């Protein structure tokens, strides 16, 4: 995950998924999975299918974002 003054956030070493600044008013966000995040079998890196896999097209406008937090709580069991 990376943040920059030029965009809001990017995920993946090859910028598999980038959310642009002001993503709700422009079409500059994009996805191109396959660098860090594995594509389904039969879809190749940099193919049109890889670029449109997330949102139906390479670049897109984001209307709504939901953010989740994953919390790991270890389970401690006693040894018998």
Asked if residues 2 and 16 have their Cβ atoms less than 8 Å apart, the reply is: no
Q: How many domains is the chain built from?
A: 1
Which range of residues forms the domain containing residue 28?
Answer: 2-60
Show the CA angle centred on residue 54, arms to residues 51 and 57, nearest 5°: 50
Tokens linked to 15? 């910028």
**How does pLDDT run across 11-34, given as a tens digit for each residue?**
998 789 999 999 999 999 999 999
pLDDT at 80: 64
Tell me, yes or no, whether 76 lies in a domain: no
Residue 13: what pLDDT? Answer: 86
For residue 79, being part of any structural domain is answered with no
Report yes or no on 78 lying in a domain: no
Structure tokens given for 26: 């422009």
How is residue 47 written in tokens?
């193919």
Tell me, what's the pLDDT at 9?
92
First vs last Cα of the chain: how many Å apart? 42
Residue 15: per-residue pLDDT: 84
CB 12 within 8 A of CB 35: yes
């Amino acid at each position: 995950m990376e943040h920059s003054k030029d965009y809001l956030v990017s995920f993946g070493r090859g910028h598999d998924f980038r959310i642009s600044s002001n993503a709700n008013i422009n079409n500059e966000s994009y996805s191109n999975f396959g660098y860090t995040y594995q594509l389904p079998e039969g879809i190749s890196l940099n193919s049109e299918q890889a670029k449109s896999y997330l949102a139906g097209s390479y670049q897109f406008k984001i209307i709504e974002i939901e953010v989740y937090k994953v919390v790991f709580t270890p389970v401690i069991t006693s040894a018998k």
